[in-house]
């Protein structure tokens, strides 16, 4: 079996555990976004499945080429693109019946929000602007010019636009990791309260509402592997972020879960997304 992994340079260290797990189980070819240019000599993908780990534009191009060749791609170029654009992901999930906080894109926070959290419009590289974003403020809060939407081009107005999400008052943050039909649930203090998210994170049992919302969000975006962030306000759970490149190293046996999922698809010849299933959960001791 042949498995391809297309990753950005930032993600390469994070997938080393996956590469070790797949060693001896499959012939694995790693493509690095920043090191490879798509040309006529590097478009003949012959893998049974390709795993994308990143959000780069070259990565998306290579994923589309693989898809055009009939190769199963996890996550697909389109699903990654949708998840990367906060506005698109929010609209898609909301239309699928998932509760998301009120949001807007503009040059200032709407007056209807008494408090907002300001995020980048295109989550192309989540390491950018960590010293600035996210920003919490009130209506008409002054936000510094930041180029958070690459696709807007070089317009002088582009840095003035941001993604505004109604701020939720919550005690806990919930994170759901999805691998096909398999979901894992965690609870932690909100990152704005405690930036060291792993120090307070604990695994929890299945929550029916989180299960319903997570599956609906993954279907709406087309993601097969994802992490989804939820906040609870007044007893209602809201989906606040969709991540197409979850760090599976935060999960016990995370590399094995991803590896087994890819191996199953490769053995099956890459069926359609809707028919894929993750390996059966292993009970933790």
Are the CB atoms for 130 and 10 separated by under 8 Å?
no
The confidence band for 274, taking pLDDT boundaries of 50, 70 and 90, is: very low
Q: How far is the C-alpha of 224 from the C-alpha of 218, rounded, in Å?
A: 7
- At 104 the pLDDT is 93
User: In terms of domains, do 11 and 69 share one?
Assistant: yes
Helix axes 57-68, 77-84, angle to 10 degrees: 150
Token pair 């890819």 in the structure block, residue: 262
Residues pairing with 243 in the sheet: 227
Any idea what the CATH number is for the domain that residue 12 is in?
Answer: 3.40.50.20
Residue 58 belongs to what domain range?
2-81+253-271
At 136-158, the pLDDT tens digits run 888 777 777 777 666 666 678 88
At 182-201, the pLDDT tens digits run 999 999 999 888 888 899 99
Q: Which of 167, 193, 209 is the last residue of a domain?
A: 167
Is position 279 within any domain? no
- If you ran DSSP here, which 8-state letter would residue 57 be given? H
Q: In a 3-state reduction of DSSP, which class is residue 238? A: strand
Helix residue spans in the chain (DSSP H): 16-22, 57-68, 77-84, 86-95, 208-221, 254-268
Q: Which of 126, 146, 167 is the last residue of a domain?
A: 167
Are the CB atoms for 120 and 146 separated by under 8 Å?
yes
Q: Does residue 95 carry a pLDDT above 50?
A: yes
Is position 281 within any domain? no
User: In terms of domains, do 122 and 162 share one?
Assistant: yes
- At 282 the pLDDT is 43
User: In terms of domains, do 10 and 71 share one?
Assistant: yes
Residues in the chain, total: 285
User: In terms of domains, do 117 and 147 share one?
Assistant: yes
User: In terms of domains, do 37 and 77 share one?
Assistant: yes
Q: Which residues of 145-183 are buried (b: 16+ CB within 10 A; e: fewer)?
A: ebbbbeeeeeeeebbbbbbbbbbbebeebbbbbbbbebb
- At 125 the pLDDT is 61
Q: How far is the C-alpha of 67 from the C-alpha of 77, rounded, in Å?
A: 8
**pLDDT: which is higher, 284 or 7:** 7
Q: What contacts 238, CB < 8 A, 6 or more positions away?
A: 99, 100, 101, 168, 230, 231, 232
Q: Does residue 284 carry a pLDDT above 70?
A: no
Across residues 241-253, what is the average pLDDT?
95
Give the Cβ contact number of residue 282 at 10 Å: 11
User: In terms of domains, do 110 and 156 share one?
Assistant: yes
Continuous segment of H or E residues that includes residue 158: none
Is position 277 within any domain? no
Q: Which of 149, 167, 185 is the last residue of a domain?
A: 167
The confidence band for 176, taking pLDDT boundaries of 50, 70 and 90, is: very high
The confidence band for 279, taking pLDDT boundaries of 50, 70 and 90, is: very low
Is position 183 within any domain? no
Is position 145 within any domain? yes
User: In terms of domains, do 74 and 37 share one?
Assistant: yes
User: In terms of domains, do 125 and 65 share one?
Assistant: no
Tally the domains of the chain.
Answer: 2
Is position 179 within any domain? no
User: In terms of domains, do 117 and 73 share one?
Assistant: no
> Pick from 44, 16, 38, 40: which is nearest to 30 by CA?
16
Is position 231 within any domain? no
């Amino acid at each position: 079996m042949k498995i391809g992994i297309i990753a950005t340079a930032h993600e390469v260290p994070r997938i080393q555990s996956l590469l070790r797990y797949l060693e001896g189980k499959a012939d694995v070819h790693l493509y690095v976004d920043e090191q490879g240019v798509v040309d006529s000599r590097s478009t003949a993908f012959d893998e049974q499945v390709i795993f994308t780990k990143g959000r780069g534009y070259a990565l998306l191009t290579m994923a589309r080429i693989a898809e055009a060749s009939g190769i199963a791609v996890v996550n697909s170029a389109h699903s990654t693109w949708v998840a990367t654009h906060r506005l698109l992901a929010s609209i898609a999930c909301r239309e699928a019946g998932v509760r998301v906080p009120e949001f807007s894109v503009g040059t200032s926070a709407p007056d209807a929000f008494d408090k907002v959290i300001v995020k980048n419009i295109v989550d192309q590289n989540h390491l950018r602007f960590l010293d600035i974003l996210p920003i919490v403020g009130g209506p008409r809060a002054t936000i510094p010019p930041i180029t958070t939407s690459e696709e807007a081009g070089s317009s002088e107005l582009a840095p003035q636009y941001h993604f505004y999400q109604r701020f939720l008052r919550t005690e806990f943050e919930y994170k759901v990791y999805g691998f096909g039909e398999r979901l894992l649930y965690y609870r932690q203090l909100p990152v704005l309260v405690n930036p060291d998210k792993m120090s307070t994170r604990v695994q929890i049992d299945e929550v029916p509402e989180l299960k319903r919302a997570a599956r609906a969000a993954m279907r709406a975006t087309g993601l097969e592997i994802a992490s989804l962030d939820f906040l609870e306000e007044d007893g209602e759970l809201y989906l606040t972020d969709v991540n197409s490149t979850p760090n599976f190293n935060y999960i016990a046996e995370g590399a094995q879960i991803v590896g087994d999922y890819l191996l199953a698809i490769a053995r099956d010849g890459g069926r359609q997304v809707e028919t894929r299933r993750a390996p059966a959960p292993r009970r933790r001791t």
